[in-house]
Structure 1
Amino acid sequence: MLTVDRLAAGYGRIPILFGVSFSVAAGEFVGILGHNGMGKTTLLRALMGYVPATGGSVTFDGADITRLPPYARARRGIGLVPQGREIFPNLTVAENLRMGCLLSAGDERETIAGVLTVFPRLERLLDRAGGALSGGEQQLLALARCLCAGPRLILLDEPTEGIQPSIIDEIIEALHTLRRTRELTIVLVEQNLHCIASLSQRVLIIQKGTITQEVSPEAVRDPALIHEFVGMAG
């Protein structure tokens, strides 16, 4: 579904990604693991089109999307759940979900009802302002809003950052449900080793803007191996 070939990108004259190459099959969950500052978020933003490519190519569903703007990629079926969630704090939960439905071809009420079956916690919060939710609830809302657009590929950036363990488990369970029921494809950037090992079918290691190797989820569960790969302790 997704092929990234020697992708280079950066900010102004500052290069961040140096020839990143990998592919993701339809229905696959692929994790990306690395220290802060290694290019993980920049990679997702480049895949979404927010950071322009300075070299290489991105192919989605057989079409070259390297030069397409973010809205065109969204229309093709790519969704981004950014680090920091970026919900609309002054809109209610229901209004945030309606914003997510703008790209959906289906009935808005049916779309939201279907998403709420995956995130039932949000149902009792529909009238509450997004900014009044806890960090974990905001993350659930960000995921649900993205799903309302009907993406086939979700780019998920640090979904467990600053979130209590109970909601981390809820996010993991929801994503497993989506894998089974919607055959979603996900590229997951994460530093929580339990989360990335629980969700990913394989894990790519990124160091200094380059994918250096691929490891199994079992390897991610071994703190000694992860320390060897990226210097991260479990």
Structure 2
Amino acid sequence: MSPLLEVAGLRAGYGRVPILAGISLAMAEGEFLGILGHNGMGKTTLMKTIMGSIPATAGSIRFAGEDVTGLATHRRSRLGLGLVPQGREIFPTLSVEENLRMGLAAAKREDRALIDEVLEDFPRLVRLLDRRGGALSGGEQQLLALARCLCARPKLILLDEPTEGIQPSIIEEMIETLQALRRRWSLSMIIVEQNLDFITQLSDSVLSIQKGRITGEVDRERLIAGDVAMIPA
């Protein structure tokens, strides 16, 4: 069976500043793939390049059997790619419900039933539908960003630093939610993260990234044991 996502020799950067230095990876449908690395290693640039908001300068990206390297972001979204960005990037002046409706813009049809279906997995958000996004806690905003992404019915979610600035109770809720979504929605996911416990509980395999390169697969047993020394600086 062909990989759901296949990245080969991917290079990208900002202006003349190169960030990704030839990244290659592949993942199967239904897989949860973790990418672990410290700040400044290229994790967010990788996610944005896969999504199309940063153009690739070399290499290729194939998704669901199609070469998407040159496609615009909205076309990748229509094919089933979704990004939950670092910092969440919700609309702070819009209500929770209005934020979710914005998620429908990337869906193949605008259907309120999609929002109701998504909210079944986010009971915390149901009582907050009339509240402005900016009035939510950081953890609630992260749940909203994830729910908004799901409104487009993605096949693969790119989840960028989801635990950043989030209280531990919400992190545990997020783990449970993602595990439930995986079972119910048959999702695939790339999780970029520095929280060892979060990434270990959710990922089938974990890759390390250093200075814009994938340096190899991380031994999950050592991660579970909390061996931070193995993570590249």
Q: Same fold (TM over 0.5)?
A: yes
Aligned 1:153-232 pairs, distance under 5 A: 153-224=156-227, 226-231=228-233
CA offsets, 1:112-166, max 9 Å, x none?
A: 1111111100000000000000000000000000000110000000001000011
Q: Which secondary structure state, in structure 2, belongs to the residue aligned with residue 53 of structure 1? A: coil
1:94-113 map, 5 Å: 94-105=97-108, 108-113=111-116
CA contact (8 A) 1:33 1:203 kept: yes
Task: Looking at secondary structure, tell me which structure has more helix per residue.
Answer: 1
RMSD across aligned positions (CA): 1.1
Are 1:98 and 1:108, in contact at CA under 8 Å, matched by a contact in 2?
Answer: no
- The match for 2:87 is 84
Segments of structure 1 that go 5 or more residues without pairing to the other structure are none
Q: Secondary structure at the match of 2:120?
A: helix
* Gap regions ≥5 residues in structure 2: none
1:14 to 13, 17, 26: 17
The C-alpha deviation readout for 1:180-221, integer Å capped at 9, x for no partner, is: 111101000001111000000000000010000102432222
Counterpart contact for 1:197–1:218, Cα < 8 Å:
no
Residue 197 of structure 1 aligns to a residue whose secondary structure is helix
Partners of 2:38 and 2:182 lie apart in 1 by: 27
1:125 partner SS: coil
Asked whether the equivalents of residues 16 and 208 of structure 1 are also in contact (C-alpha less than 8 Å), the reply is: yes
Look up the equivalent residue of 1:22 and give its one-letter code.
L
TM-score (norm 1): 0.96
Count of paired positions: 230
Q: TM-score, normalised to structure 2's length?
A: 0.96
Counterpart-to-counterpart distance in 1, 2:97 and 2:139: 17
CA contact (8 A) 2:74 2:106 kept: no
Q: Displaced runs of 4+ in structure 1, greater than 4 A?
A: none
